Amino acid sequence: MTEKLPCHVAIIMDGNGRWAKGRKLPRIAGHRAGVETVRKVVRACGAKGIKVLTLFAFSSENWRRPKREVSLLMELFIRALQQEVKSLNKNNVRLRMIGDLSALPEKLQKLILKAQELTRNNTGLTLVIAANYGGRWDITQAARQIAQQVAAGELQPETIREETVQQFISISDLPEPDLFIRTGGEQRISNYLLWQLAYTELYFTETLWPDFDDTDFEVALASFAGRQRRFGRTGEQVENA
């Protein structure tokens, strides 16, 4: 058991393609294997009492991939939702989706709405899936909503503060991510939760997402537990608080 547990873990699940390539399999086989890891990590978070898990499933840039991979990924999302929602609900998981969902296949949109509705009152883990999500999109959609309020005369520009913007940013009703994990070896944010990650502890591992297991997760949590979060203060201030 680690002593300091993050309340919110945000993950970039990367390395599916390379995992498949290493086995001479098509990339989609890596994505399929990745779904298995999602199951395991969701279970681990529930068991540990982590409150929020946010997973990057598809970025606003992933449309640039070969058409065939994109459509196979969409099919995989649909199938995964159809298969998993019942058991997520049984396990008291609340499902939330963030991103520009309007660009997703209609069938997927319907399943998402249904799954959110079914699980909305669950009190266990909140599982946030980012699909067609981009951090810049998120900030832009917040700016658009603020501009609409200003245009309607409901908001004065002089009164706009960080909290005003925050209100319109995705999942701002949830605690901010404490721990960010990126598997697959790349050390970048790739347009994930730009606003929300302002003070998140970053953790990178070479492990490819389909290989990421409970032990890897423990190592990430232990790294988090060993860090001093200062939020701009001095180390002494934090120690004496």
User: Is position 57 an interface residue for ligand IPE (rule: CB under 6 A)?
Assistant: yes
Q: Which is nearer to Mg ion, 14 or 216 (CB)?
A: 14
* 127 dihedral zone (left: phi>0; alpha: psi -120 to 50; beta): beta
- List binders of ligand IPE among 70-129 (CB under 6 A): 73
How far apart CA 7 and CA 112 sit, in angstroms, is: 24
User: Is position 190 an interface residue for ligand IPE (rule: CB under 6 A)?
Assistant: yes
Q: Report the residue from 56, 137, 212, 217 that binds ligand IPE according to the rule CB under 6 A.
A: 56
Known catalytic residue at 14: yes
The site partner of 177 among ligand IPE, Mg ion, none (C-beta below 5 to 8 Å per kind) is none
Q: Which is nearer to ligand IPE, 11 or 50 (CB)?
A: 11
Q: Report the residue from 6, 8, 38, 59 that binds ligand IPE according to the rule CB under 6 A.
A: 59
Binding site for Mg ion (CB under 5 A): 14
- Give least dist CB 52 to Mg ion, A: 23
Binding residues for ligand IPE, rule CB under 6 A, total 17
Map residues 10-49 to x or -, x wherever contact with ligand IPE holds by CB under 6 A. --xxxxxxx-------------------------------
Residues found near ligand IPE in the complex (CB under 6 A): 12-18, 56-59, 62, 73, 184, 186, 188, 190
Q: Among all residues, which ones are annotated catalytic?
A: 14, 62
